[in-house]
Amino acid sequence: MVKFGSICVAFLCALNFPTVLSAATLAQPGFTEVEVVNVNDRRGNFGNITFDDAGNAYVVGANRRDNGQVYRIEDDGSLTLIGDATSGNQTATGITFKDGSLFVTSSHGRLYEMDAVTGQTTVLTKLKTKDPTDVQIIDGLYGAEFTILVVAEDGGATWVDGTTGEVQLTTSGLPSMNAIEVGADGTLFALSDESPSGLFSFDENGLIETVVEAPGGVSFENLAIHQGTGEIFASTSAGEIYVFDPLTLNATLFASDLAQGGALSFSADGTQLYFGEQEGRGGYTISYFDGFDQYELSAVPLPATLPLLGAAVGIMAYARRRKKTKS
């Protein structure tokens, strides 16, 4: 396996990464900001957000005493407790939805399955990766109906059979990952908060395909991909949201002057971009940018490797061929 700390850093990080081309103020024209939830509690601390097929939003953790609890966000902004996905002093980190179930990761290395209606919760599997941070549903590997991908701070990734809970594959040697998303073509994108913080894609072999450094030297926090246009949205530690062109990976500032926060997710229909803000000691809010139903772009190809990364990817492809030849 190619280690990020060897060939990737030595070769990729020496390249000139795409830079920010233009900047907006709070948001680009045509979008409005709508506050959905405001928890007036200095302990306020939401985690990630996910949506079911009907468009209902779910969020993990409402305050630092209840970090394992999962809530549904109602239309009036209230929170309905669904259940507690963890026990003890664990913190729920990632959350995703599939076929009536919420899948939640915990800081103690557990993957839980929770009924989205009754809140009944079971441990689907115990993970070997340290400090899981995010979870996503992907196409099934090795004949599985669907696969759950979990990534972690230690650079590990685990592929789990979503039906049986069996661990199908584990990968190590990636950068520390704090968020993952699945692109419109199935490409796996992740954010790293290592220095330099950046956006990259990877596969089940653990090989990095593309790398983009965070603009301005800030660190990336969370990630969302618009499934209609393929555009990649990433929030930063500086209270900004950048949008990456799926073809060139050039970045444009989409929103700024936001408080720090972790959550970033598109609604089920792709018309709203939800984001969370930690309001210092004043609590936590969840809002969304409305207007993506009018969001029109010319047709764009699916995400592709940048020409400037060609040499580095060539080395990785060679390494992959050698790996397959030896196996």
Tokens matching residue 114: 């929770």
* Rounded-to-integer distance, Cα 137 and Cα 147, Å: 6
Q: What is the pLDDT of residue 198?
A: 87
80-87, long-range: CB within 8 Å, 24+ apart, which pairs? Answer: 81/119, 82/58, 82/114, 82/116, 82/117, 82/119, 83/114, 83/115, 83/118, 83/119, 83/120, 83/121, 84/119, 84/121, 85/60, 85/112, 85/114, 85/121, 86/110, 86/112
* Rounded-to-integer distance, Cα 267 and Cα 289, Å: 10
Cα-based distances in Å from 213 to 13, 177, 218: 8, 14, 9
Residue partners of 21: CB distance under 8 A and separation at least 6 = 250, 251, 252
Residue ranges for the chain with pLDDT beneath 70:
1-29, 40-45, 62-67, 87-89, 261-262, 279-283, 294-327
Asked if residues 256 and 240 have their Cβ atoms less than 8 Å apart, the reply is yes
Percent pLDDT > 90 in the chain is 27
Asked if residues 101 and 111 have their Cβ atoms less than 8 Å apart, the reply is no
Q: What is the CATH architecture assignment of 4-326?
A: 6 Propeller (2.120)
Q: What is the pLDDT of residue 99?
A: 94
- From the CB of residue 315, how many other CB atoms can be counted at a distance below 10 Å? 16
The Cα diameter of the chain in Å comes to 58
What DSSP string describes 78-106?
-EEEEEE---TT--EEEEEEETTEEEEEE
Determine the straight-line distance between the first and last CA of the chain, rounded to whole angstroms. 12
Q: What is the pLDDT of residue 184?
A: 82
* Rounded-to-integer distance, Cα 90 and Cα 122, Å: 15
Cross-strand partners of 138: 147
3-state SS class at 202? strand
Q: What is the pLDDT of residue 117?
A: 95
* Rounded-to-integer distance, Cα 304 and Cα 239, Å: 28
Alpha carbon 153 to chain centroid distance? 13
Q: What is the pLDDT of residue 166?
A: 94
